[in-house]
């Protein structure tokens, strides 16, 4: 049972190779500001005790951005302890919370490259904390036909009735998430692609909270334009006329 207290961890130690740019994608400009700034601001409706941004120990960009991030994001903590994988960065964030978080406190983990998380989705996540003992995550049902492919040729069509696209935030109680992630990292690190997969490895069944199409993960260059559109649709950004 949740105490009503929650914490957020945002892993941001990656380099975003698929974007193909000189900057890690979390630092690319989006509507006049670094992408990560929009992401952190979007987490405000969760009303977390703290938001831990986990960056690489040698991150060369964060020092210049830190004053603006701290001024714009209440409760932000920048942790220079990110690992080689997402799971290792999340584990570092959880370790920083260990002295303060009670076992039953809830911890949400959110992608640094999802700047368009909506307030309604945050409210829906908060609403499930009391009952989702196996954890929870935002996700959307698959609405496109899915093919299996080998060597460039279609080998079959997958039944999409039970398929969902995972989003973030994802989370669980501090004790459940910490325990699941520690075990998964020790036994099967290659199988852990998100927090839900770590919980599944522990034998838990995370609760699905229907997400929104606007909560896209910026992965390719063209995603920046789409993210800008959704920021405008959400009323978070208004273009200025030249």
With contact defined as beta carbons under 8 Å apart, do 130 and 31 qualify?
A: no
CA distances in angstroms from 126 to 112, 129, 148, 171, 184, listed in the order given: 20, 6, 36, 11, 26
The confidence score (pLDDT) of residue 14 equals: 80
Angle formed by the axes of helices 62-72 and 35-42, to 10°?
30
Domain ranges of the chain: 6-233
Backbone angles phi, psi at 9, to 5 degrees: -120, 130
Adjacent-strand bridge partners of 78 = 53
The confidence score (pLDDT) of residue 193 equals: 94
pLDDT tens readout for residues 26-81: 999 999 999 999 999 999 999 999 999 999 999 999 999 999 999 999 999 999 99
The confidence score (pLDDT) of residue 120 equals: 97
The confidence score (pLDDT) of residue 242 equals: 54
The confidence score (pLDDT) of residue 16 equals: 56
The tokens for 206 are: 């995370």
The confidence score (pLDDT) of residue 240 equals: 79
For residue 149, the tally of other CB atoms under 10 A from its CB is: 9
Q: 131: exposed, middle or buried (C-beta count within 10 Å: 0-12, 13-18, 19+)? A: exposed
CATH homologous superfamily of 6-233: Spore Coat Polysaccharide Biosynthesis Protein SpsA; Chain A (3.90.550.10)
| Cis preceding linkage at 49, omega within 30 | no
The confidence score (pLDDT) of residue 33 equals: 96
Q: Are strands 76-80 and 51-55 parallel, antiparallel or unpaired?
A: parallel
Q: Which stretches of the chain score pLDDT less than 70? A: 1-3, 15-21, 241-242
The confidence score (pLDDT) of residue 6 equals: 97
């Amino acid at each position: 049972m949740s105490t009503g207290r929650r914490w957020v961890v945002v892993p941001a130690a990656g380099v975003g190779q698929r974007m193909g740019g000189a900057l890690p994608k979390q630092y690319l400009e989006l509507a006049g500001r670094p992408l990560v700034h929009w992401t952190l601001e979007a987490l405000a409706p969760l009303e977390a005790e703290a938001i831990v941004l986990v960056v690489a120990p040698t991150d060369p960009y964060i020092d210049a951005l830190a004053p603006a991030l701290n001024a714009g994001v209440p409760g932000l903590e920048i942790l220079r302890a990110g690992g080689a994988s997402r799971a290792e960065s999340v584990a570092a964030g959880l370790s920083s919370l260990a002295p303060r978080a009670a076992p039953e406190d809830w911890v949400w983990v959110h992608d640094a490259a999802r700047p368009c998380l909506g307030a309604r989705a945050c409210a829906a996540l908060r609403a499930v904390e009391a009952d989702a003992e196996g954890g929870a995550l935002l996700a959307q049902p698959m609405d496109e036909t899915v093919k299996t492919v080998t060597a460039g040729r279609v080998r079959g069509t997958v039944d999409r009735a039970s398929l969902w696209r995972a989003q973030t935030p994802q989370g669980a109680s501090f004790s459940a998430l910490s325990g699941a992630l520690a075990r998964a990292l020790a036994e099967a690190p290659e199988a852990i692609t998100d927090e839900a997969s770590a919980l599944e490895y522990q034998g838990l069944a995370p609760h699905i909270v229907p997400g929104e199409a606007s909560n896209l993960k910026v992965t390719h260059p063209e995603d920046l334009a789409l993210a800008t559109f959704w920021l405008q649709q959400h009323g978070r950004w208004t273009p200025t006329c030249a």
